[in-house]
Amino acid sequence: MEGDLCRMCGGDGRIGNALGGSSATCPSCRGTGRRAEAAYGFHDVTKTKPSHHKAAAVQPPTGPKVPLTPEGIQLAAEVNASTALAADAKARIVAEIVVHEGTHGRCTKTFLKKIRKQARPGTA
């Protein structure tokens, strides 16, 4: 691996301008003329911000504990009437409805379909 030449500059460490005249350090090998993997190893550029390393603090919702929109109220009633769900699952889904209303303002058609699919007997 140490002998592999950079594919971008051909091992020169510099690249020329297409119009001629000037040249610059090769961005791929940073002027070494060798392949970047051989010289620097794998460089992971994900999660470079300090905020990405912190665990997200889960805070309990401070808003309403029941749905407020007519669609949310009806959906919560359907979930609570479901015989296929356990009590803790019903509470979790109702809380999800409340959070969805808080972020979207109302229950979207896609969200209604998703929750109704969860509450149907035989799919829980």
How many Cβ atoms are within 10 Å of 78's Cβ, its own excluded?
A: 15
pTM score over 0.85: no
Question: Comparing C-alpha atoms, which of 70, 106, 67, 110 is closest to residue 90?
Answer: 67
Q: Is 16 helix (H, G, I), strand (E, B) or coil?
A: strand
State the pLDDT at residue 1. 45
At 111, list the tokens.
Answer: 């969200």
pLDDT tens track for 86-113:
888 888 888 888 888 878 888 888 888 8
Separation of alpha carbons 26 and 60, rounded Å: 52
DSSP 8-state symbol, 23: E
Confidence of residue 124 (pLDDT cuts 50, 70, 90): very low
For every residue of 49-78, DSSP letters joined together read: SHHHHSPPPP----S-SS--SHHHHHHHHH
Angstrom CA distances, 73 to 18, 81, 102, stand at 66, 12, 14
